[in-house]
Every structure is written in C-alpha cells, then in structure tokens.
C-alpha cells in the first residue's frame, strides 16, 4: 500500500510538471526564439523602462499631426479679429450657450462652459508670457474643446460615453455617462464641466432651444463642435456668430483645398499645449 501511494505521487508530480512546462516549450518552438531573446526584444520595444513605446515617441508627435486620411474637422480662431471687436467674443459665448441649453450658475464650482474666455497665460502656458504686448495683456482668448486627434479624455472614459467620431469630433453620449469625471481629470484644457446640480435649475425654461436637449445632474458635458447643426448643413453656432469677419474658420483639416487649410497656409498659428501630444484640432492666430 505504501509503495503504491509513493508511485502514484511520483507519476502525479511528473505529469503536473509536464502539463505546466509543455505549453512553454511549444510556444518557444512556434515563435522560434529563446526566452532570453524574447525578453531582449520586449526591452527594445518599451525603451527598457516598462513604458509603452508610444509615450517615448510623444515629444516629437506634436510636430507631425498623425491622421491624414478621412475627415478631420478643425477650427482656426483669429485672436487679432477678436481684439478689434471684443463684443464678438461675448456674443459667441452667449450664442453657443443659448443654442445648447447650457445653464448659468453664479457659483464658480457649478459653472458649465462649452466655450469661454480666458487669459493668454492660461490658454498658452507653454508660450512665453514675459513682457507681453498690450493687446495680449488687455484681452482674453476665446477657447473651447480642442477635439484632439489623440484625445486623452476618450482613453480615460470607462464607458465609451466620450468617443472620437469618424469626422474627428470628440463627441459625448450623455446616455452612457456615469459621471465618474475621469475625462475631466484627463483633459489638459479644462474643456469639460460636471453637472453638480440639475442643469434645469440654471436655465430659463421658457427660453430654451427646443430642438436640443438639456443635460441631467451627474453627467459631464462639453462642446460638441455643433455636430447636430453640421448634420443639418449649418455651421457651428460660434462660427455663425462671427458672421463674415472670418474670426473663426471651420472646416476639414485633411482636405488640402478647404478654406481652413488656406488660412493655415497663410498664417502662423499655434495650438494649446502642443507638447502634450494630444494634437488639438483648434488653431489660434495671435
């Protein structure tokens, strides 16, 4: 009896080792490399620091804007024209927020914004703020969601409530938003607002745009590049508000014959925080 148990344990042990070991051996034969070589290859791939290869390449990314096929909607904002006409900035904000039923809350913490005015040093912290000229010093810059080509908010969203549409718009599906605010933490431009309160408290229910919904408490919202208006063949509301001044030009960045590409070709433009590698689709002429 004792001997039999001993035999059994031996066979069981050997079978276990064979069972665990066999797949590794087979894998090595299939891939045709030794484990040491495989390890070395992985080191090269990740730059040897366990970081994804993408992160290593990031600093150079902002020079070369990645996607060049398909539609990529973008915008050029001409700050000079807004400086000439400061009322137009406020009009853009007013029109956008009216069209999209964006609530107004007096407390800063509850504020919801799709497009807003901010100081030059906040919009472009990577550019020098030392001895700025008077025009930049005394005026504010109109900023909105950059609809990045590599949107960090989309990577952060656990439910795919925010996603990149085929035309380059970084869109929100409020039906899916669970209000975790990861996207707000991920966005380096502060373009996202959280509905701490029921947005209808901050809206005049008699002056709503009845073609567009409101949001509910507990979702994150932001500029949608007027995807709804584009679908009806209209321009974005802010672009329309600037009229014929060409202070804002909207179009397809991947179409070499588009107006926006013409403007980009003729003017020196900057993007917000380009070194982060998000490839913003909104450009500024200063």
Partner 1 sequence: MYDSGKIITGLIIFVLLITFPIWYNHGDAGEVPKPELPKDSKQCVLPTSEMRSNHMQLLNQWRDEVLRTGDRAYFELEGKKYQKSLQNACIQCHTSKKKFCDTCHTYTSVNPYCWDCHLVPVESE
4 makes contact with partner 1 (CB under 8 A): no
180 makes contact with partner 1 (CB under 8 A): no
Q: Which is nearer to partner 1, 58 or 154 (CB)?
A: 154
Report which of 187, 84, 198, 70 is spatially closest to residue 135, judged by C-alpha positions.
84
Distance CA 143, CA 283 (A): 10
Q: Which is nearer to partner 1, 118 or 167 (CB)?
A: 167
105 makes contact with partner 1 (CB under 8 A): no
Distance CA 123, CA 141 (A): 7
Q: Is the dihedral of CA 253, 243, 143, 200 positive or negative?
A: negative
Q: Which is nearer to partner 1, 190 or 218 (CB)?
A: 218
19 makes contact with partner 1 (CB under 8 A): no
**Helix, strand or coil for residue 282?**
strand
Going by their DSSP bridges, the two strands 141-144 and 115-118 should be labelled as antiparallel
207 makes contact with partner 1 (CB under 8 A): no
214 makes contact with partner 1 (CB under 8 A): yes
196 makes contact with partner 1 (CB under 8 A): no
Per-position x/- string for 124-163, each x denoting binding to partner 1 as judged by CB under 8 A, each - no binding? ---------------------------------------x
Per-position x/- string for 158-177, each x denoting binding to partner 1 as judged by CB under 8 A, each - no binding? -----x-xxx---x-xxx--
98 makes contact with partner 1 (CB under 8 A): no
Going by their DSSP bridges, the two strands 248-252 and 220-221 should be labelled as unpaired
**Helix, strand or coil for residue 144?**
strand
Instruction: Output b/e per residue, 45-84; b: 16+ Cβ within 10 A.
Output: eeeeeeeeeeeeebeebbeebeeeeebbbbbbbbbeebbe
5 makes contact with partner 1 (CB under 8 A): no
Which residues are at the interface with partner 1 (CB under 8 A)? Answer: 163, 165-167, 171, 173-175, 208, 210-216, 227, 231-232
């Amino acid at each position: 009896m004792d001997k039999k148990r001993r035999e059994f344990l031996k066979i069981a042990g050997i079978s276990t080792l064979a069972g665990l070991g066999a797949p590794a051996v087979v894998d090595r034969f299939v891939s045709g490399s030794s484990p040491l070589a495989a390890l070395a290859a992985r080191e090269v791939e990740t730059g040897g620091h366990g970081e994804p290869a993408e992160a290593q390449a990031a600093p150079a990314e902002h020079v070369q804007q990645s996607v060049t096929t398909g539609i990529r909607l973008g915008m050029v904002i001409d700050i000079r024209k807004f400086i000439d006409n400061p009322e137009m900035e406020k009009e853009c904000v007013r029109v956008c927020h009216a069209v999209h039923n964006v609530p107004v809350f007096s407390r800063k913490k509850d504020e919801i914004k799709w497009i807003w005015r901010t100081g030059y040093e906040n919009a472009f912290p990577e550019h020098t703020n030392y001895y700025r000229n008077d025009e930049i010093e005394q005026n504010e810059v109109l900023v909105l969601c950059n609809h990045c080509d590599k949107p960090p908010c989309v990577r952060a969203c656990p439910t795919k409530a925010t996603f990149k549409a085929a035309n380059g718009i970084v869109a929100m599906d409020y039906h899916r938003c669970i209000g975790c605010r990861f996207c707000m933490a991920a966005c380096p431009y502060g373009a996202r607002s959280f509905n701490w309160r029921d947005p209808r408290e901050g809206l005049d229910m008699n002056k709503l745009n009845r073609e567009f919904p409101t949001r509910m408490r507990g979702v994150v919202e932001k500029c949608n590049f007027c995807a709804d208006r584009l679908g009806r063949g209209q321009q974005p509301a802010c672009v329309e508000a600037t009229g014929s001044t060409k202070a804002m030009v909207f179009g397809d960045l991947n179409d070499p014959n588009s107006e926006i590409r013409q403007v980009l070709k003729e003017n020196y433009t900057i993007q917000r925080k380009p070194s982060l590698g998000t490839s913003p689709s909104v450009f500024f002429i200063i």
